Amino acid sequence: MSADGGSGGGAAHGEPTPQIVSLPGGGNAPALGMGSWQLAEGRHPIEQEKEALQTGLSLGMTLIDTAEMYGSGASEEMVGTVIAGQREKVFLVSKVLPTNATRAEDIRSACAGSLKRLKTDFLDLYLLHWRGGVRQLDVVVDAFESLKEEGKIRRWGVSNFGVADMEELFGIDGGGGCATNQVDYSLTTRGIEADLIPWSVREGVPIMAYSPLGTGSGHILDNPVLAEVADRHGVTPAAVAIAWTMRNGETISIPESGTLEHIREDAAALGLKLSEEDLADLDRAFPA
């Protein structure tokens, strides 16, 4: 892991954004993936959403993130349909609700449900969706490690954990096996640069950025500075905003997917390198 992920940190400017991110304990994950929150819930025709996911896979966005919570399992079922026949090319991520993570048997049952809906024998990554009422992290770690030993999951991690949560996790026997922490990170949500990102870099835990276009992203994508940077590269503002989250080579970005137009815009972030000038302009427009 290299320097911090804050302003001016990470990979040397001018180098292409890596298309993979190294994971603790060996192996890699795609640097750019697709989120599935609000998919299969009627926001778009489901066939359109399936086509968008298929297109994303063909464009190199081979990580798909879902969760048992999304659409009460409907998202996982849709993703399972999309990846049928091409499971080997997909890095598949799902998440267990904290209400299902206080006892080992509940975690095992939740994982079994996710695997059934996704029509797969294993997950590449299984996350605790958020801390919630989970007090005994050792129970979660032990259950995740057991699922890993059985081949049901290949790696495990957490989501929405702050520094204090991560320090508690790493103080538990086996807690250092955490492969990633999925958190809210974008040009307008940079608070983790003050503490969580430096901690994560120091401990070798990559960040997975959800909502890289911001929550209610219109105000980000309409920003004139972001548009100017996008024009320099011949891409859309969305591609620049996503590439910015990936700029240090240690962050996985998972923008939401739902339409072909958005998928194609997002995929342009792969390999997009932002210059010193680009990064300085974005820092001024979106101060840390």
Query: Annotated catalytic sites, by residue?
Result: 70
User: Quick check: is 129 in a domain?
Assistant: yes
User: Quick check: is 5 in a domain?
Assistant: no
User: Quick check: is 8 in a domain?
Assistant: no
Residues 6+ apart with CB under 8 A from 112: 152
Domain CATH code at residue 41: 3.20.20.100
User: Quick check: is 260 in a domain?
Assistant: yes
pTM: 0.92
**Domain that includes residue 103, residue range:** 20-285
Tens-of-pLDDT digits for all 288 residues of the chain? Answer: 333 333 333 333 444 455 999 999 899 999 999 999 988 787 889 999 999 999 999 999 999 999 999 999 999 999 999 999 999 999 999 999 999 999 999 999 999 999 999 999 999 999 999 999 899 999 999 999 999 999 999 999 999 999 999 999 999 999 999 999 999 999 999 999 999 999 999 999 999 999 999 975 457 899 999 999 999 999 999 999 999 999 999 999 999 888 999 999 999 999 899 999 999 999 999 998
User: Quick check: is 160 in a domain?
Assistant: yes
User: For the chain, what is the domain count?
Assistant: 1
User: Quick check: is 6 in a domain?
Assistant: no
Identify the pLDDT of residue 15.
Answer: 47
User: Quick check: is 205 in a domain?
Assistant: yes
User: Quick check: is 12 in a domain?
Assistant: no
> What DSSP assignment string belongs to the chain?
--S-SSTT-SSPTTSPPPSEEE-TTS-EEESBEEE-TTTTTTSS-HHHHHHHHHHHHHTT--EEE--TTGGGGHHHHHHHHHHTT-GGG-EEEEEE-GGG-SSHHHHHHHHHHHHHHHT-S-BSEEEE---TT---HHHHHHHHHHHHHTTSBS-EEEES--HHHHHHHHTSTTGGG---EEEE-BTTB-GGGTTHHHHHHHHT--EEEE-TT-TTTHHHHT-HHHHHHHHHHTS-HHHHHHHHHTTTSSEEEE-B--SHHHHHHHHTTTT----HHHHHHHHHHS--
